[in-house]
Amino acid sequence: MQIREKTEAREQKLLALWATKSTMATRIHEEEMDPIRTAFQRDRDRILHSTAFRKLKHKTQVYLASGDHYRTRLTHSMEVAQISRTIAGALDLNEDLVEAAALGHDIGHTPFGHAGERAMAECVGNFHHNEQSLRVADIYGRNGRGLNLTVQVREAILCHTGEILPTTLEGMIVRRCDRIAYLCHDYDDGSSVGMIGPDSLPEMVAKRLGTDPSVILDVLVNNIVELSLNKPQINLDSYYEEAVSAFRSFMFDQVYTCPAMMIEQKKAEHVVKTLMNMFLELPERLPREEQAYIESFGVEQVCIDYVAGLTDEAAVRIFRKYFEPII
């Protein structure tokens, strides 16, 4: 018996009846099974070793100002994976599936966070980072062969946000943990620079969730586990759900859309829009390896893929190259 088969046998024995077992994994393009890793472990490794995942290190989460303590898209993805694994493990669900989906859920995100996403949508009419993450996984990586992720991981990536819900409990965990993670760590980053703090939190949030990011995480994770244990669903008590909604509204008012942040985000949007318009008009300025995709995908899609794939630093560097005067 191969090592992978032993792992699969343990899953059948130990995971909940409604868990997504590795033996249930399917791929759009069938391939030979790995002798050591399960299908979901293989997905996780492919994402971890992808160029798109490495780029997340240099992509903004929220705060555009430089600083070594701010979260990036990479640290955000790692935090979502950690929280997701904790909940999945406690509920006897598939930890490898949630880890793979959590690590891959933002690999298609633009530079400059949601400011870049808004700018891209304004340029092309329709752009959502979850859809782009799936596109990146399907087409790029492994020298253009794509990652060929399992259907279950692909769905969890696509449905981590938006109106369509995942069909697996593991996908629901990632969707829930993405919001929990970004609210807590964006609040933590904002507190560390004095932008917000415990005294500014709404009374409901402070009373029900606490004022320390780690405490808020513990409260929410423990409640999800308590209400979802031995049940084929992922639940959060309405008492805490209401507080999370108030927390999110607070973060939008005080951080995400506050005047100081919007000034910087407008600058970021200008960079993304300017680059998109330039490459759409002059696709010959795209790198040669990107131009090779034009015949297959068209100019607009190739420009989207290239600009969305840039890190913050690369976007600024290209912008300066073409639009800042040499003095």
Give the pLDDT of residue 260: 85
| pTM of this prediction exceeds 0.75 | yes
Helices and strands, counts by H and E, the chain: 17, 0
Measured between alpha carbons, how far is 47 from 39 in angstroms, rounded to an integer? 13
Q: What is the mean pLDDT of each run of 10 residues along the chain (327 residues)?
A: 94 98 97 97 98 94 60 94 98 98 98 95 96 97 91 98 97 98 94 89 98 97 98 98 98 91 92 98 97 97 98 96 85
Give the pLDDT of residue 67: 52
For the chain, list the domains and their CATH numbers: 3-257 (1.10.3210.10)
Give the pLDDT of residue 282: 98
CA-CA-CA-CA torsion for 129, 40, 50, 179, nearest 10 degrees? 30
Check: CB of residue 123 under 8 Å from CB of residue 51: no
